[in-house]
Structures are given as structure tokens and as C-alpha cells.
Amino acid sequence: MSLEELIAQADERGLAVSGVACLDRCVPLLGGDDEALRPLWGTLAGGPSDGDWGEVLQQTREKLDAAAGEAAGGGAGEAAELAQGMLATAPLDRSGTALRQWADRCSADALRIHQLLDGAGDAGATDLTAARREGRTDGLSPLLAAELRRQTAVLELAAAHGAAGLRSALEVSTEGRRVLRAAVSRRSRRDA
């Protein structure tokens, strides 16, 4: 199943997991540490009405907004702006159309971030749309193809296992965060 199809079929928990996972992989661009989104992940174990998604999201925004101000620069301008947009547009209500739109935007923006950090710039933008729609990785850079596979894996884990799939989804995201942090570091050294 393609990434677009997985997002279209995901339930509210799957959409929230997908969005948080994309944001989590991109948290190095916001100056956040590995634990920055841990409280937000914790709210995903219950149903949409359980937990304190909105409150925890607001606290996470405040923490990461302060960290992003300290981490500004690093040659990742557009990529950092996309990550900030992912955080800023997260809906305070973990249900409904806004959640689906946010998860879809996070997916597209995370792929774009990986494309930018890989140095591909605008090259292959059409391929990016086709890759999401068709679920294919051929012709994509290794960094971009790996992000597409991670997004697909997170959605499949959430669909197949519900709350029980959170730990595995977090592991997939943690691996991706390490990869992105290394890509940001390489980009900063190259631009210096």
C-alpha cells in the first residue's frame, strides 16, 4: 500500500502517531534533544479523549520554540522552517479532519526536509509526489528512500498493533532521528 493510501485509511491514533513520528525524526532541526517529544508520545497510548494531548502539545511547542531560537542557523534554513511548521500546525484536538491534514502535511514536509538535506533541492520534486502516491523508492536518494520506508513502517505498525505498536514506531523514529541528525551535521560542515 502506498503512503497516501496508508494515511487515507489510518484511524485517529495512526494519524497522530504518523505526525508525531515525522516531527520526532525532524526534531534536531528544532534544537530539541532525543527526549523532546517523549511526553507527546506518552499521550498516544490512550484514545483521543484520554490523556492531555492538547496541553502536552502546547508545552512541547513552548519548549521547542525556545530550543529552536538557540539552535538557529546551521545551513538548514528551509528544512528548519518546514519542521517548525509541522510543530506549529499540530491540532490541539487529536481527532477529525485537522488531524488527517496535519499527518499528511507532516509526511510531505518530512520527505521534503530529507530531500533538502540530501542536497537534491528542487530536483525530483515531482518524483516526491509520485513516491508518496505510488509507494515506490526507485530513483530516490538513499536518505529520501529511507524516510519513505520509515513513514510507511510507522503507519503499518499503528494500523496492525494500535497502542501496542507505539514502542516499535518510536524505535523506527529514533533511528530516523539519528540519521537526520547526521545529515544536518554533514550539511553544516559542507556549508561552513
Task: Read off the pLDDT band of 71 (50, 70, 90).
Answer: low
Neighbouring CB atoms inside 10 A of 167's CB total 11
**Please, is 39 exposed, middle or buried when counting C-beta atoms within 10 Å of its C-beta (0-12, 13-18, 19+)?**
middle
| 179, three cell numbers | 540519521
Contact 86, 105 (CB under 8 A): yes
User: CB under 8 Å to 27, separation ≥6 — which residues?
Assistant: 33, 34, 36, 37, 64, 83, 177
Give percent of the chain with pLDDT exceeding 90: 67
What is the largest distance, in Å, between two alpha-carbon atoms of the chain?
47
How many CA within 13 A on the CB side of residue 47? 1
Q: What's the pLDDT tens digit per position in 156-178?
A: 999 999 999 999 999 999 999 99
- Per-residue pLDDT at 10: 96
The DSSP output letter for 43 is: G
Pairwise CA distance, residues 117 & 94, whole Å: 30
Record the pTM: 0.91
Pairwise CA distance, residues 85 & 65, whole Å: 11
**Please, is 35 exposed, middle or buried when counting C-beta atoms within 10 Å of its C-beta (0-12, 13-18, 19+)?**
exposed
How many CA within 13 A on the CB side of residue 62? 6
Cα separations in angstroms, 166 against 122, 130, 136, 155? 33, 28, 25, 10
- Per-residue pLDDT at 128: 77
Task: Read off the pLDDT band of 135 (50, 70, 90).
Answer: confident
Q: What's the pLDDT tens digit per position in 49-67?
A: 656 899 999 999 999 988 8
